[in-house]
Amino acid sequence: MTRSRTDRAARASVSVMDATMLDDPIDVEVTSGPAPRTFTSFYEDRYTEIGRALAFTLGDTALAAEATDEAMARAFARWSTVQRYDNPSGWVYRVGLNWARSVHRRAARRLPLRGRDEVVQPPVADPAISRALGDLDVRLRAVVVCRCLLDWSVEETAHALGIKSGTVKSRLHRALGLLESALGHLR
């Protein structure tokens, strides 16, 4: 009998929550690879970066925080596999993004749409930049965030988003063109 994704995710979330209630820190030691790395060190090093990237991509800090937590819980549950990936942060980012999209789709079916004024984004130097990013389609924004904010390569971005390298390049080209036309007045 197979368990549903929701059951597995709930068990992963509960196991992380139970482990954090213990006096001992969570230390999942990795035994393969050149340098052992614990989940705790990965979590401490990457949580803020991934959360910030998801907040920019999704345009909603509360949803991004939940998505980051969910993705980190899933990474913890699969750490023996995830830690061997070339870019574990990319895997966590993609899981968080997919989870948030699923939540948004389910909520959109049940709730009226929220206004854009209710979205609180991380601060950006100029409000025009924030508006221009917010006006981009989420697929274009995700590529911009991965390439420009996270400084991932084309290949890392493609792998993280589950698309081809050529698609990353074309979306980035299109997004930067839209941003340039929207922000031309800042030159």
Q: Fill in the DSSP letter of residue 109.
A: H
17-27 in b/e form (b: 16+ CB < 10 A) is eeeeeeeeeee
End-to-end CA distance of the chain: 61
pLDDT digit string, tens, across residues 38-79 = 999 999 999 999 999 999 898 889 999 999 999 999 999 999
Q: Which domains does the chain have, with CATH numbers?
A: 1-120 (no CATH), 123-187 (1.10.10.10)
pLDDT digit string, tens, across residues 157-169 = 999 899 999 999 9
pTM over 0.85: no
pLDDT digit string, tens, across residues 82-120 = 999 999 999 999 999 999 989 878 776 665 555 544 545
Structure tokens at 178: 């839209």
